[in-house]
Structures are given as C-alpha cells and as structure tokens.
Amino acid sequence: MRAVPEPPMRAALLRFYDERARDLPWRRTRDPYAIWVSEIMLQQTRVDTVLGYYDRFLSRFPTAGELARASEDEVMAAWSGLGYYRRARLLHAGVREVVERYGGQVPEEAEARRALPGIGRYTAGAIGSIAFDRAEPIVDGNVARVLCRIHGIDQPPERSAVQKRLWAEAERLVQGPRPGELNQALMELGATVCTKASPDCGRCPVRAHCQAHAQGRQAELPRPRTRKAPKPVALVALLATRGRGAGAQLVLTRGEGSLFGGLWNLPMAEGRGRRVARALQEQSGLAGTLALRAAGELEHVLSHRRMQVQLWRITGARPSAAGSLAPHPIATVGELGVSRLTTKALEQLGL
C-alpha cells in the first residue's frame, strides 16, 4: 500500500522548518518540563529576551522536582526582569502539582495538562505536540497572524468567532506526522517571515496557498485590535533604609494583589509630593526620618501603565511588627524576587 502524500501546505511548512528554523535551546530537547518552562517564558516576551534567562533558569532548576522544592523568593529571583510575574508563580504552582500528583512527570494526557495551574490550551498543545508527538494544535499571536492571512480572515483574531475558526484550522493542519515540528513551523513562519509590520512574501513557503497574498492584502490582515495607550500614573515610592555600609538594610513590601505579582517592592502610593510620602509612611507603620525633598524620579512602563515615580528617602527606618513591611540586607536584595522598578531605584540612588 502506497503512503498517503502530505497535503501540499503541510509539506511546505515542514520543509521550511527543516531548512530555515532558528537554532533555539528549547528546540534541542523533548523534555516536557523544559518545553513547559520555555513556553511560559515566551508568553508576551521576545525570543532575544528569553534567551538570556532560559538556560540560567534550567541550570538553577533542572527538573520539576528542583523547582517544586524551591521557595517562591528563589523562583522570583530567577525570573526577575522577565516581567509578567504571575506566569512564574503559576509555573511554580503547576510544577508542584505535577510533583505531588504525577511523581514529577508531566502528564501525557491533554486534559491532565490543561488542569494544571497556568496551562491553557496553547501551552498544553505545545507540550503535547513537541514533547509527546501528539497531534494537538496551538494558536498564539504568530500562528493567528499566519492563519488569518492564509485564510483571508478580515476580522481581529481576538474575536471569539475568529478564535474558534483559527483553532479549527490549526487542528486540521496538525493532523499527520511530526505534529511538534508542524506547530513550530507555524510559529517560526510568523516570527521570521509572516511578520506583523513587514511580511516577506517572497520568502514565504506557503504564499501559493495564501489568500491575503493573492489579494495583495498581506499588510492589512489580520485586522488590528484597538489598543489603549498605557495610562499615566504618578506615584511616590519610599526608599527606606537603616544602617550603613555592608550591614545596611532596605525595607520592602510584598502584596499578593500588587502590580508586580508577588515580588518584593518599595512601598508605593498614587500621588506626588512630600505630603503623600508622609501619609504613605504613616499608613505603612514605618518609623524613621523622611527627607525634606525627593531624592530622584524615574519612569517605569508596564503594558497598561506609564509610571512616573518620585523616590523619597527615609533613614533610620523601623517597620511595625504588625505591618506587611520587612527589612532585607541591601547586599542580598539581588537574591530576592524584587521588581525591576526597585532595582532601577537602587541603581539610580547608588545603593
């Protein structure tokens, strides 16, 4: 019996991946835990940024068991600078469940994977197809762009009806040999050729199948979602220290509902000026001498907020035992999971 030939578009995608895929560290493994880590890191984060963290994170936590045994502070310290810190906390929680329920082995069944904290349909599909060679689809931003152009979908991909269509198209494509490579080919095509700003149709392996290319609409599709500009927010932050030299300490806070997802951070409040800083000091139960003038100012931009932060020094700081503040040696702050804003403030003031 003759083998059934690959559908032309699927065959073209696999050839493209074999010949032109980038050599990335997470593509050299079939370890489901390592693939899980990479997929969580890559969410809303550029590949170039993740390259600076992936190997270091896995060197620190080479197995699910090692990560599960780590404290939240250790995990946050290793993640610090990658942003979207809720991802790290959910990864930590998910890995702990894998250790408790599955003996440290990521489950092969898709439903079991999707029941883990922090794993949605996309991450489950990436792990299932790449690590376990299962025909499970994926749709991320790159894949959605590719499929919208191929099928000439003239609506924003975020719409629920469009999402349903995209997942159905991805499901059809992934059926067949090498589902992991097929999914990665779609991601690679969107990242390197079928890009958002300047699609390079001359280098595209599936342009013959692409409705957007046939209609000359590749620059128009997919339709963009209307995005709001980051909201400007004025804040004061207390940089409260006690002691000097090698024994100096910095007072930090960590709130579960904070902007920085459980990282240690400077006490902050909306507003500007010494009066706001004084009110925050009193509200925090923080004794010490507040400076007469702000020590500096910095800008910190998140996806939804553009923060203008006034820095106010407090010396001789003594947090109340009943509050949420805690002193930490400045020399070891780098070993904590601290926000990038805190790091920037310390650098600016030479601490």
Tokens of 1: 């019996």
CA 247, 250, 251, 256 torsion-angle sign: negative
The reply to whether 199 and 268 lie within a common domain is no
pLDDT of residue 1: 43
Which of these three, 180, 214, 248, is where a domain ends? 214
Q: What is the pLDDT of residue 288?
A: 95
Looking at the structure, do residues 149 and 290 belong to the same domain, yes or no? no
- Same domain? 117 vs 151: yes
- pLDDT value at residue 5: 66
Confidence class of residue 85 from pLDDT cuts 50, 70 and 90? confident
pLDDT at residue 110 greater than cutoff 80: yes
252: CB partners within 8 A, 6+ apart: 264, 265, 266, 267, 325, 326, 327, 328, 333, 336, 338, 342
Among candidate residues 6, 19, 39, 171, the one labeled active-site is 39
Structural tokens at position 234: 């004025």
Residues 205, 252, single domain; the answer is no
- On whether both 171 and 236 belong to a single domain, the answer is no
Output 303 or 127, whichever has higher pLDDT.
127
Q: Domain range spanning residue 250? A: 231-348
Inside any domain, residue 3:
no
Shared domain check, 67 and 140: yes
Q: Are 334 and 259 in contact (CB under 8 A)?
A: no
Answer whether residue 23 is part of any domain: yes
Residue 169: per-residue pLDDT = 97
Q: Which two tokens stand for residue 5?
A: 């030939």
Question: At which of 179, 214, 249 does a domain end?
Answer: 214
The total of structural domains in the chain comes to 2
Rounded CA-CA distance 330/308 in Å is 24
pLDDT at 261 over 70: no
Segment 162-185 shows an average pLDDT of: 97
Domain closes at, from 214, 246, 279? 214
**Span 116-134, average pLDDT:** 97
Question: What average pLDDT does range 208-216 have in this prediction?
Answer: 97
Residue 223 lies in a domain: no
d(CA 164, CA 170): 10
Residue pair 288/314 in contact (Cβ under 8 Å)? The answer is yes
Does residue 109 have an active-site annotation? no
Domain identity same for 311 and 336: yes
The answer to whether residue 321 is domain-embedded is yes
Of the pLDDT bands very low, low, confident and very high (cuts 50, 70, 90), residue 338 is confident
**CATH code of the domain in which 12 resides:** 1.10.340.30
How confident is the model at residue 135, as a pLDDT?
A: 98
Instruction: Name the band, by pLDDT with cuts 50, 70 and 90, for residue 257.
Output: low
pLDDT score recorded for residue 255: 62
**The pLDDT of residue 81:** 84
- Asked if 204 and 164 sit in the same domain, the reply is yes
Quick one: pLDDT band at residue 60, thresholds 50, 70, 90?
A: very high
CATH number of the domain that 283 lies in? 3.90.79.10
